């Protein structure tokens, strides 16, 4: 894999209109009121994990950095806003020169998270911070949902390779982001060439049932594929009769056939039968790949099966039933006045119905026990207690509008493995339960 994500092979377009109109109308009103330039702190957090999940996974941080740096209003965009009368002329003039110049801190990509923690903290003027709400949430909510599903599937797979193959089950651009997030969460390869091109992800793929149906016989199809791709290829063996297909596959490719793929039927039963048949035919090193609407529960049910790799599509790119993490972006502190040295005042919405927020600019640390296992996510305001200074899980991501924490995806992937391994063992249970760590406020 190419580790140089900071120099992406394709340009990131302007993200300025990946927003909601009310962000611009709030900006206009604040500019008119003279409050737009007050120093402000916004935080991204979630009040709860998806039902039954034990931990969340932060993903999309690298994409957020790109989105913020490329949040600028191009002439055609300004013309659109003018023609649609979205905002007035003074606001358009302000937007024409907009560049985010604030600071961003947060959880590093791949880190696990829990309710209430400040996953991302955006500090700057109200004007520049308020514009970023929608684009930040759209990236983090989607990518973190996919990464969390990927992580659970990786746990269930217990070291067996995972192939992401969900591009056809989601929006074409979301598919690229999903491939990236799945890699962070533990998947090994993707079928999506756009993701391979943009992010350097390892790609994989051979043939579908259409290729077999194109030919006059299954033998002809297998012969054509092997002659083109070599004996190390993967042959799809469930178009007609699996037993006959496996026999034909070994006859065509020989005992050094790379793999066979099973895409239907009782996967547990069929995998055992295919493994026995391959061994009897002398193809003891030929691997078995299974696909067919898998999720973490189906993968776990195949733990005792002679399966060497899993291909997952729909359930992965839709977050395995939870396509969003319900993250929100809230103002938690703002300056008491307009001066640059005006102190920050904690603020929060007061509401019924479970939408309460904790005011104040926060830090987060992970308290660990004597054996190094995490015991609690500690969230607080003010000075960090001495016993937690080396346990902080937030880091500087942007300074003065420029990213300072870009890293290869392999770093985020490895961080996730370490972070998940540091949780109590119950974190990896697929049964429903509460977050594996409590959130403590100080």
Residues composing the chain? 442
Tokens describing residue 99: 């560049």
Q: Which of 13 and 256 is assigned the larger pLDDT?
A: 256
Q: For residue 10, is pLDDT > 60? A: no
Q: How far apart are the first and last CA of the chain?
A: 42
Confidence bin at 152 (pLDDT 50/70/90): very high
> Partners of 334 in the beta sheet?
40, 345
Q: Computed from CA positions of residues 6, 12, 16, 20, in that sequence, does the dihedral angle turn out positive or negative?
A: negative
Confidence bin at 432 (pLDDT 50/70/90): confident
Residue 337's pLDDT is: 87
Q: What is the pTM of this model?
A: 0.94
Residue 6's pLDDT is: 47
Confidence bin at 12 (pLDDT 50/70/90): low
Confidence bin at 340 (pLDDT 50/70/90): confident
Query: 128-163 burial by CB neighbour count: b if 16+ within 10 A, else e?
Result: bbbbbbbbbbbbbbbbbbbbbbbbbbbbbbeebbbb
Tokens describing residue 305: 């099966």
Average pLDDT of the chain, as a whole number: 95
Q: For residue 284, is pLDDT > 90? A: yes
In order, the DSSP letters of 112-145 are EE-TT--SEEEEEEHHHHHTTHHHHHHHHHHHHH
- Which single residue is written with the structure tokens 């923690």? 117
Residue 4's pLDDT is: 47
Q: For residue 2, is pLDDT > 60? A: no
Mean pLDDT for the stretch of residues 302-316? 97
413 CB contacts (<8 Å, ≥6 apart)?
110, 183, 184, 186
Residue 72 contacts residue 98 (beta carbons within 8 Å)? yes
Mean pLDDT for the stretch of residues 293-303? 96
Tokens describing residue 260: 């066979």
Give the orientation angle of helix 242-253 with respect to helix 218-229, to 10 degrees: 40
Mean pLDDT for the stretch of residues 278-290? 98
Residue-range domains of the chain with CATH: 21-143+324-411+426-441 (3.20.140.10)
Indicate the SS3 state at residue 49.
coil
Confidence bin at 149 (pLDDT 50/70/90): very high
d(CA 325, CA 151): 14
φ/ψ (deg, to 5) at 259: -165, 160
In order, the DSSP letters of 228-243 are HH-TTSEEE--SS-HH
Q: For residue 352, is pLDDT > 90? A: no
Indicate the SS3 state at residue 56.
strand
User: 111-128 pLDDT, tens per residue?
Assistant: 999 999 999 999 999 999
φ/ψ (deg, to 5) at 268: -65, -50
Indicate the SS3 state at residue 59.
coil
């Amino acid at each position: 894999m190419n580790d140089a994500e900071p120099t992406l092979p394709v340009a990131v377009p302007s993200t300025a209109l990946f927003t909601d109109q009310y962000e611009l109308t709030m900006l206009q009103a604040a500019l008119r009121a003279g409050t737009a330039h007050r120093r402000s702190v916004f935080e991204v957090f979630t009040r709860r994990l998806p039902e039954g999940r034990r931990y969340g996974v932060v993903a999309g941080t690298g994409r957020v950095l790109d989105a913020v740096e490329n949040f600028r209003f191009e002439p055609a965009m300004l013309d659109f806003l003018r023609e649609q009368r979205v905002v007035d002329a003074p606001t358009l003039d302000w937007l024409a020169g907009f560049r985010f110049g604030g600071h961003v801190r947060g959880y590093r990509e791949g880190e696990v998270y829990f309710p209430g923690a400040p996953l991302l903290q955006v500090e700057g003027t109200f004007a520049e911070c308020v514009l970023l709400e929608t684009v930040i949430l759209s990236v983090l909510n989607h990518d973190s949902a996919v990464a969390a599903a990927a992580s659970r599937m990786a746990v269930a797979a217990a070291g067996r390779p995972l192939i992401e193959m969900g591009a056809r089950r989601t929006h074409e651009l979301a598919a690229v982001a999903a491939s990236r997030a799945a890699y962070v969460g533990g998947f090994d390869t993707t079928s999506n060439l756009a993701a391979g091109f943009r992010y350097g992800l390892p790609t994989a793929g051979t043939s579908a049932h259409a290729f077999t149906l194109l030919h006059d016989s299954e033998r002809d199809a297998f012969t054509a594929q092997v002659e083109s791709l070599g004996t190390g290829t993967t042959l799809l063996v469930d178009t007609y009769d699996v037993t006959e297909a496996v026999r034909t596959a070994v006859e065509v490719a020989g005992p050094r056939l790379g793999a066979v793929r099973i895409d239907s039927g009782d996967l547990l039963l069929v995998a055992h039968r295919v493994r026995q048949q391959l061994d009897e035919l002398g193809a003891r090193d030929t691997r078995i790949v299974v696909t067919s609407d898998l999720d973490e529960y189906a993968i776990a049910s195949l733990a005792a099966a002679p399966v060497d790799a899993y291909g997952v599509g729909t359930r992965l790119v839709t977050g395995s039933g939870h396509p969003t993490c319900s993250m929100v972006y809230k103002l938690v502190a703002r300056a008491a006045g307009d001066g640059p040295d005006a102190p920050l005042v904690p603020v929060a919405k007061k509401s019924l119905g479970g939408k309460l927020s904790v005011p104040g600019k926060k830090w987060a640390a992970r308290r660990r026990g004597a054996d190094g296992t995490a015991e609690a996510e500690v969230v607080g305001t003010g000075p960090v207690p001495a016993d937690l200074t080396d346990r902080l899980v937030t880091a500087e991501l942007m300074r003065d509008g420029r990213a300072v924490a870009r890293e290869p995806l392999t770093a985020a992937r490895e961080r996730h493995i370490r972070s998940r391994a540091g949780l109590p063992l119950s974190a990896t249970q697929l049964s429903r339960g509460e977050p594996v760590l409590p959130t403590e406020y100080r």
